[in-house]
Amino acid sequence: MTKPAKKLFLKTFGCQMNVYDSERIAEALAPLGYGETQEIGEADLVILNTCHIREKAAEKVYSELGRIGGIKSARRERGRDTVIAVAGCVAQAEGRAIVERAPVVDIVVGPQSYHRLPDLLVRARREDRHVVDTEFPEEDKFRRLPARGAGRRPPAAFLTVQEGCDKFCTFCVVPYTRGAEYSRAVAEIVTEAERLAQAGVREVTLLGQNVNAYHGQGPDGAAWSLARLLRRIAAVSGIERVRYTTSHPRDMDDDLIAVHGEVEEVMPYLHLPFQAGSDRILAAMNRKHTVDDYRRLIARIREARPDIALSTDIIVGFPGETDAEFDATLRLVDEVTFAQAYSFKYSPRPGTPAATIEEQVPEPVKADRLAALQQALNAQKAAFNAACVGRTMPVLLERPGRLAGQLVGRSPYLQPVHTMAPESRVGEIAAVEIVSAGPNSLEGDTKSESDLPLEVAALH
């Protein structure tokens, strides 16, 4: 292989959808001669793929741009040019304001326009000016991006199947930054999954901002549900594990619940945000479900798959949230019990309805609530992990760990598992006997025989 002529430094913030987009961006730039580097000082092109979901994330981008501006000047002194591009949701939300606040930036590109990056690069160079593309173009970026290559890949991969959101939760920027809900066609997704499998991928996580609202066109012309898509992807030869995220409680239909009990490849893990434990707050959030709807849904899911590991997103300090309403959140956490969860202090996002509500909760109150909530969630996570000790689980060995001779994999419940095994076993779904559990991960002994038929015993 010839050495790539130019170097690309690509930094990803935020969610898994950005991780997926970054891979596609790198693949789109490879034909132009860009190879990735981890050394920013060597990069001819620096791309920050940004996240706008919470305030600090956008601020981090600006401080990062300050630092990169210094690197750009230092390179210029050595006669080297550096193109700086900001992609992702901050790019979409802030648009031209980015080049005004950080003039070192050459290109601002929204998430729907990545297929245009090669053109934007040419324009930025030729016209020697800032280029901003934050349109929601008519053409479909997925069809315009180069097909995924068949070179070896790590055994677990993301695959975006749906983008955007029509739910309009009052705290959330996603419907504005990622636009209206859109589902890719089934055939396109199946082809991509087959290519991933040929490249050594054994586990695929189907991604979407509201993935279970998926309604892509099937080969039969009908709109397929996520449940139907999961069954189809599970049947792709070489794909042995399937996951999906993120779901909305309103879109958990009967068939999707049934899939958890019926399709062996669908892993016993579900990320299902509930956001708040009070009906008044849920209504103010425009969540379109009540606490009781969520409770009943969880009961049905556990009936279909008793050992399912549940994860969720929770916001504390939504405008007007009282102590009693926050206590209701803690009670729901106690009642449901989560294997893991993400929790956040409410942060007003410009342009969203909740940002204009007057009764914002004071910062110290939010901090206290978050600490209390995280204490409860951490205890549940530790208990879930501890309950795994002594079990033998099928673990997909994904990559070398930090210690020599160590590999890191994932259990069916998405827990990281550390184990001593040779690197040649990466990509294997090995039987691992769990010997100890920490707050965030497990440790285990890998059995010598691979792919033992394992029963994943109920944890609840």
Q: Which of 168, 280, 303, 350 binds ligand SF4 (CB under 6 A)?
A: 168
167 touches ligand SF4 (CB under 6 A): yes
Q: What is the CB-side half-sphere exposure of residue 45 using CA atoms within 13 A?
A: 28
Residue 347's binding partner out of ligand 5AD, ligand SF4, none, with CB under 5 to 8 Å set by partner kind = ligand 5AD
DSSP sequence for 15-73: SHHHHHHHHHHHHHHGGGTEEE-S-GGG-SEEEEEE--SSHHHHHHHHHHHHHHHHHHH
Nearer to ligand 5AD, 74 or 180 (CB): 180
| Total residues interacting with ligand SF4, rule: CB under 6 A | 10
251 touches ligand 5AD (CB under 6 A): no
| Total residues interacting with ligand 5AD, rule: CB under 6 A | 12
Residue 167's binding partner out of ligand 5AD, ligand SF4, none, with CB under 5 to 8 Å set by partner kind = ligand SF4
Q: Which of 45, 124, 159, 165 binds ligand SF4 (CB under 6 A)?
A: 165
CA distances from 423 to 221, 399, 401 (A): 44, 8, 10
Locate 28 and state its tokens: 């789109």
Q: How far apart are CA 409 and CA 427, in angstroms?
A: 9
User: What is the edge-to-edge ordering of all strands in the sheet holding 269-271?
Assistant: 269-271, 309-316, 340-345
DSSP sequence for 297-325: HHHHHHHH-TTPEEEEEEEE--TT--HHH
Residue 344's binding partner out of ligand 5AD, ligand SF4, none, with CB under 5 to 8 Å set by partner kind = ligand 5AD
Q: How far apart are CA 307 and CA 268, in angstroms?
A: 7
* Smallest separation, CB 178 to ligand SF4 (Å): 8
Binding mask 232-251 for ligand SF4 (x = CB under 6 A): ----------------x---
Q: Which of 349, 366, 369, 418 binds ligand 5AD (CB under 6 A)?
A: 349
Give the three-class secondary structure for 192.
helix
Q: How far apart are CA 391 and CA 456, in angstroms?
A: 8
302 touches ligand 5AD (CB under 6 A): no
* Smallest separation, CB 178 to ligand 5AD (Å): 12
User: Which range in 18-26, 88-96, 126-134, 169-177 contacts ligand SF4 by CB under 6 A?
Assistant: 169-177
Locate 361 and state its tokens: 């909760």
Per CB under 6 A, residues contacting ligand SF4 are 165, 167-169, 172, 174-175, 209-210, 248
Per CB under 6 A, residues contacting ligand 5AD are 53-54, 171-172, 273, 275, 313, 315, 344, 346-347, 349
